[in-house]
Structure 1
């Protein structure tokens, strides 16, 4: 069998995944600028966030999150018992020795952790993120050049059409409606193929403009496998 049929292995990378932390307990150790970014990432992912840091170490943004009850707050330095309910730990403090101690305790308890600016003490990294509604694009340099990751992310974001996020939201609604009219698991391959054809056939602008009425009219063509365009849908449903 020829090896040319398969992709070459490129070692040295990271396994980039979308980690679902909804309602999981994320412990953030620290309250400065880096911690503020970590907190926002976790809140955007609907995590339950606890911040442990002396009040004197809170920057303006973290203090705001605390005041608005967006996070739970412990006004002191980290203690080992803080890990008792943690599903993930994000440590961002200016104390290498204390950071390493947090990392060692997390390893003992098998809690995934990120120790800011210490790649060797991280189970995962944060990349440079572009967000547009349900669309998330992350660029990682595997710790080699965070600033370059930011530059590449900006180039990608600038190349994306406007309203990409809105188009994705409508596609998500259409998929939900499709599952309601064709719930049988055996329909899975057909559903996937039909939805793929919609995404390929329709422009982003049409997907953004698609209304609930348009979706219902389009779904009437699912059984036949046809994918008429938006204009045809509106002409036949008017």
Structure 2
């Protein structure tokens, strides 16, 4: 019989487990997902799609927006005209070939349409193709959620309720933003510049670049 792998795990008698962060199952893995210059398909052109566009444009994604002209929100139309180099606009309803033609070039799929049946079809097709997908306002059909985000230069603070309370998340985000120092973004830029200089003076001496912490 193979040896129990847990029997190989050493004991650490001097460690105090009470100092470790507690595990709270059921949360989401909150990441800063880099989609710069990567293709993201956004189906829909209404007010929710306009909100999604703000996130995607701020992340410098390469966006394919699929929606008939009659369904465009004024802000969506404005983004299409002001960011034409970043958004490929397809002026019609979604078709399966929008995903199946070249799925390997797609990083994310987002839907923001008032058609539950069509949304579920897009979700199902995305899963078949192995594409991460978010169906607006339908948490069970989301591989990831959009939180309420505060942005100030390089600083990004996101509050997520795992799809349970978007308005509550926005309220918490505003309170956090109001508590931040006024010139925090300038300080962060300067810290980044200092880190860059330190890396040149002592390559490999600085700790990793990930921001990791659990409260």
Coarse TM-score class (shorter-chain normalised):
0.7 to 0.9
Aligned to 1:75: 91
- 1:137 is the counterpart of 2:181: no
4+ runs deviating over 4 angstroms:
none
| SS of residue paired to 1:51 | strand
- 1:181 is the counterpart of 2:201: yes
Once the two structures are superposed, the pairs formed by residues 43-58 of structure 1 within 5 Å of their partners are 43-58=57-72
| SS of residue paired to 1:50 | strand
Once the two structures are superposed, the pairs formed by residues 2-41 of structure 1 within 5 Å of their partners are 3-41=17-55
Aligned to 2:113: 93
Whose radius of gyration is greater, 1 or 2? Answer: 1
Aligned to 2:212: none
Contact 2:199 2:206 in 1 (8 A): no
- 1:65 is the counterpart of 2:83: no
Once the two structures are superposed, the pairs formed by residues 129-168 of structure 1 within 5 Å of their partners are 129-168=149-188
Partners of 1:146 and 1:11 lie apart in 2 by 20
CA drift at 1:62: 1.1
In structure 1, stretches of 5+ residues that fail to align are 193-238
**Would the alpha carbon gap of residues 178 and 150 (structure 1) be closer, same or farther in structure 2, given more than 3 Å must change?**
same
User: How many residues in Structure 1 have an aligned counterpart in Structure 2?
Assistant: 189
Select the structure that is richer in helix.
1
TM-score w.r.t. structure 2 length? 0.83
TM-score w.r.t. structure 1 length? 0.76
Partners of 1:159 and 1:71 lie apart in 2 by 35
Contact 2:50 2:76 in 1 (8 A): yes
RMSD (CA atoms): 1.6
Aligned to 1:128: 148
In structure 2, stretches of 5+ residues that fail to align are 1-12, 210-215
